[in-house]
Chains A and B, each alone.
Chain A
Amino acid sequence: MEYFIQQLLNGLTLGSIYGLVAIGYTMVYGIIGMINFAHGDIFMLGGFAALIVFLVLTSFIAGVPVALALLIMMVVAMLVTSLWNWTIERVAYRPLRGSFRLAPLITAIGMSIVLSNFIQVTQGPRNKPIPPLVNDVFHFGEVTVSLKQLVIVLVTAVLLTIFWYIVNKTPLGRAQRATEQDRKMAALLGVDVDRTISITFIMGASLAAVAGTMYLMYYGVASFADGFIPGVKAFTAAVLGGIGSLPGAVLGGLLIGLIESLWSAYFSIAYKDVATFAILAFVLIFKPTGILGRPEVEKV
């Protein structure tokens, strides 16, 4: 039982990270109907920004408190990735809005290749390890909870609350929901659609940057190739939860995290990704629009 709870906790931690990235996928998909393949690499850029900020920070100020360091890493990573995602949207996606559906998908895949290779070229192909930031662990009987797990779950919960508030209670969120439902109508009623879409990309990038910082803190290593697999899993989470649905993205993220950790614990680590993808396929076969997705109404 203790073992099971332990794995549940690990899964929850991992799932929080996936959930944060998945929101970026699902929001962009909801608002412009495009799979933003480069989002996983935005997550990776966030991790690298945090890593570089950490290095610079610790070399200037020796005894900087960990909480402060983490906060600075997170904020800088959010700013930098937001800048990147905003620019990418302006340069690579906006000119193709209204073009046929595969065109933005191809530029997104192209951007993903560009971003990961850009980091490989500028920062080198090797894994970048950093010393562990947070070491404390708490014991509850047999179950061990590390402080970093708590931090991850807590930060995710706080961010999701803020995020939920923005989307549901502010004029900006209303504009986003309006744009999602009917872009043309929203534009006619005075919603600045371009601005709304830009902000959506910025919000997605910020959440991905936080996830990237958490990922770096959790695993203590960053690599240029870290964008793809977590990115695909986060996208899988978004689809599993029902793409376009925000609670669905979080739910999907948690589910993927749990499946992954439980499968590694009870079956085999080697096939954990196979299990994730197989369950995705299985769920979609029986519920083709995901768990919380709205059924697609097709008009003739």
Chain B
Amino acid sequence: MPNTNSTAKETAPGVMAQAVKEGLLAGVLAFGMFLLYVGVETYQNIDNALVWRMRWGLLAIFVAIAAIGRFLVVGFVKPHIDRRKLAKAKAGIPEVSDEKGFFHRHFLKIALIFLVLYPPIIVSLNGVQGSLKYVDNFGIQILIYVMLAWGLNVVVGLAGLLDLGYVAFYAVGAYSYALLSDTFGLSFWLLLPLAGILAAFWGIILGFPVLRLRGDYLAIVTLAFGEIIRLVLMNWTEVTGGTAGISGVAKASIFGIWSFDVGADNNFAKVFGLPMSSAYYKIFLFYVILALCLITAYVTIKLRSMPIGRAWEALREDEIACRSLGIDTVKTKLTAFAIGAMFGGFAGSFFAARQGFVSPESFVFLESAVILAIVVLGGMGSLTGIAIAAVVMIGGTELLREMEFLKHVFGEDFTPELYRMLLFGLAMVAVMLFKPRGFVGSREPTAFLKERKAVSGSFTKEGHG
């Protein structure tokens, strides 16, 4: 756009004319784009033959939104943003302010306290049975993604290796737990570390052949490995149950003392004389995944200040310099893969215990993409940023399930769930466009001279694989 640094008054008529022009252009474009897909509805009639009818009204709405939207952006939003930037540049106010509020400084403590108190608060607000939805759909679901994203962060954010098949390790963890507990009747607490070790083992197996690959070649091979594991799980029916998966996976127990099986004598609710409800199990699981997340965060933070963590970050910044300085890149890459995979395995076995059911459906590429998106949207390498991204993206889409009131606006046929992934995709694009460095764009350096200064995300590389 040509008129970026002229003042508003001089160019106001020009801006309006341009806005009208661009708005009309956007309308024409939208008409071309949506005419077939929105304008024509295809459906099968009674004879099962495909027929069509026009949807002019819907098409008009789409075109109008595009045209008016573009008009407003060019005519009002952009000049406004430009004016603000200009004013800021004139006043000489730095873009980043150093002053932080109370909330900002104590963010971690507040967040942690909130998380620990979350189930009791929900139970006291909604009752035991009513808490189920909030603890399970929001609490546990988000925390699983936080953990997966923190695990992938070791590989992508710290070591700079682009992994598009992370969900494979999640699957390995889930199937390890489901199969081993089914076959040998082992308990959750024994299988949790075992699943992690198995996943780490797979991380090394898959890591070995791809050591020589760089950047996007690495990305496509990890994607291929992810798909191979899913396809094997889908087709190896004798062991994995094929597409039907494995159902009736054993629940976790409170260290074997109390169980959550309805028939058992040491059932938690029975022992404490509480009314039967599956909510207790979910609350228990909430604390388990919270603990697992905290372990992940603790290990990641500790590793970052250890030689291996420093080696990862050095590898991300410059592989050649790394090798010249005598860092064993093979070992560095493999440990990154193994540790990332291990966290994925933990999350997987937790997932199996929570669902009570595993099937290849849960481990499609889309999951890998979602996890990677959370890592990148969170600002790659920043644990807080990733957690915020997980809350926004996963919580946001879960929230959409709850939007019953939309039915009153758009009519009874309207199902908000249908639009869940559509909005998720749009949000991914929008966040990247407005905050390319993610939600938290700065990082705390682990090594520093005299004082620790936050490093802007634009100074850190994402690595070349």
Instruction: Tell me which of A51, A59, A110, A270 contacts B428 (CB under 8 A).
Output: A110
A-B residue pair count with CB separations less than 8 angstroms:
177
- B11 interfacial contact with A, CB 8 Å: no
User: Do B42 and A52 touch across chains, with their CB atoms under 8 A apart?
Assistant: yes
Chain A interface mostly: helix
A147 CB within 8 Å of chain B: no
Interface stretch, picked from B109-117, B131-139, B192-200, B370-378, is: B370-378
A104-131: which residues lie under 8 A (CB-CB) from chain B? 105-107, 109-114, 117-124, 126, 128-130
**Residue from the list B216, B219, B422 in contact with A114, Cβ < 8 A:** B422
| Bound: A18/B103 CA distance, A | 54
Write out, one digit per residue, whether chain B residues 300-336 have a CB within 8 A of any chain A CB (1) or not (0): 0000000000000000000011000000000000000
B227 and A273 form a contact (CB under 8 A): yes
In contact, B209 and A239 (Cβ under 8 angstroms):
no
A288 touches B213 (CB 8 A): yes
Q: A96-B436, A239-B217 are in contact. Are A124 and B43 (CB under 8 A)?
A: yes
Interchain nearest-CB distance for A198 vs B (Å): 13
* B433 interfacial contact with A, CB 8 Å: yes
**How near does chain A come to B312, taking the closest CB pair, in angstroms?**
17
Q: How far is the CA of A228 from the CA of B227 in the complex (A)?
A: 12
Interface of B is mostly: helix
Among A51, A79, A100, A123, the residue within 8 A (CB) of B436 is A100
Residues of B within 8 A of A145 (CB): none
**Selected contact of B221 from candidates A117, A243, A280, A296, CB within 8 Å:** A280
* Interface membership of chain A positions 211-242, coded 1 if the CB is closer than 8 angstroms to chain B and 0 otherwise: 00000000000000000100010011001000
Alpha-carbon gap, A110 to B421, bound state (A): 10
In whole angstroms, what is the CA distance A55 to B40 when docked?
Answer: 10
Interface flags, B184-212, vs A, CB<8A=1, else 0: 00000000000000000000000001101
Question: Inside 8 A of A45's CB, which chain B residues have their CB?
Answer: 37
Alpha-carbon distance between A76 and B366 when the two chains are bound, in angstroms: 30
Chain A residue nearest in CB terms to B415: A121
Q: Is B118 an interface residue (CB 8 A)?
A: no
Kindly supply a per-residue 1/0 record for chain A positions 80-103, scoring 1 wherever the CB is within 8 Å of any chain B CB and 0 otherwise.
Answer: 100110010000100110011111
Is A35 close to B, CB under 8 A?
Answer: yes
- A274: interface (CB < 8 Å): yes
Contacting residues, chain B, for A21 (C-beta < 8 A): none
What band does the interface of chain B fall in when counting residues whose beta carbon is under 8 Å from A?
35 or more
In the assembly, what is the distance between CA of A60 and CA of B435, in Å? 49
Name the contact of A112 in the complex, choosing from B44, B219, B425 (C-beta under 8 A): B425
Q: Say if the beta carbon of A300 comes within 8 Å of chain B.
A: yes
In the complex, how many angstroms separate the beta carbon of B463 from the nearest chain A beta carbon?
9
- Which of B83-91, B228-236, B285-293, B342-350 is the interface stretch? B228-236
Question: What chain A residues lie within 8 Å of B455 (beta carbons)?
Answer: none
Question: If the complex has contacts A110-B429, A296-B214, are A270 and B235 also in contact, measured as CB distance less than 8 A?
Answer: yes
Residue among B44, B215, B320, B380 making CB contact with A126, cutoff 8 Å: B44
- Do B425 and A56 have beta carbons less than 8 Å apart? no
Assess whether A281 is interfacial by the CB under 8 Å rule: yes
**Would you call B212 and A113 a contact (CB within 8 A)?**
no
Q: How far is the CB of A82 from chain B (nearest CB, A)?
A: 10
Q: Which residues of A contact B225 (CB under 8 A)?
A: 277, 281
Cβ 8 A contact of A109, one of B42, B217, B235, B428: B428
Selecting from B28-36, B257-265, B445-453, the interface stretch reads: B28-36
Q: Report B-chain residues with C-beta under 8 Å of the C-beta of A239.
A: 216-217, 220
Q: Are A113 and B425 touching (Cβ within 8 A)?
A: yes
- Give Cα distance in the complex from A26 to B177, angstroms: 41
User: A259 to nearest B CB, angstroms?
Assistant: 13
Q: Give every chain A residue within 8 A of B125 (Cβ-Cβ).
A: none
A59–B458 Cα gap in the complex (Å)? 56
Is B221 touching A281 in the complex (CB atoms < 8 A)? yes
User: Is B426 touching A114 in the complex (CB atoms < 8 A)?
Assistant: yes
Q: Which residues of A contact B321 (CB under 8 A)?
A: 300
Contact B214–A80 (Cβ < 8 Å): no
Partner of A285, one of B212, B220, B437, B458: B212
Asked if B33 and A119 sit within 8 Å, CB to CB, the answer is: no
Closest CB in chain A relative to B419 CB, distance in Å: 7
Query: Are A109's CB and B373's CB within 8 A?
Result: yes
A232 contacts across to B, CB distance below 8 A: 223, 227, 365
- A residues less than 8 Å from B41 (CB atoms): 122-123
A291–B215 Cα distance when bound, in Å, is 17
Inter-chain CA distance A277–B232, complex, in Å, is 12
| Given A83-B32, A114-B422: A271 in contact with B372 (beta carbons within 8 A) | no
Please indicate the chain B residues that have their CB under 8 angstroms from the CB of A102 in the complex: 156, 162, 376, 380, 462
* A29 within 8 A of partner (CB): yes
Q: What CA separation (Å) do A105 and B427 show in the bound complex? A: 14
Whether a CB of chain B sits under 8 angstroms from the CB of A136 is no
- Given A102-B376, A109-B373, check contact A83 B29 (CB 8 Å): yes
Q: In the complex, which residues of chain A have a beta carbon less than 8 angstroms from the beta carbon of B231?
A: 270-271, 273-274
Does A153 touch B at the CB level, under 8 Å? no
| Choice from A95, A128, A236, A285 contacting B209 with Cβ under 8 Å | A285
Chain B residues with CB under 8 Å of chain A are 29, 32-33, 35-38, 40-44, 50-52, 156, 162, 209-210, 212-217, 219-221, 223-225, 227-228, 231-232, 235, 320-321, 365-366, 369, 372-373, 376-377, 380, 418-419, 421-422, 424-429, 432-433, 436-437, 458, 461-462
Q: List 9 A-B contacts (CB under 8 A).
A: A100-B436, A107-B429, A110-B428, A122-B37, A235-B220, A236-B220, A236-B224, A277-B227, A285-B210
The interface of chain A, by Cβ under 8 A from chain B, is 29, 35, 45, 48-49, 51-53, 55-56, 59, 76, 79-80, 83-84, 87, 92, 95-96, 99-103, 105-107, 109-114, 117-124, 126, 128-130, 228, 232, 235-236, 239, 243, 270-271, 273-274, 277-278, 280-281, 284-285, 288-290, 296, 298, 300
Q: 6 shortest A-B CB distances, which residue pairs? A: A110-B428, A113-B425, A114-B425, A277-B224, A117-B422, A110-B429
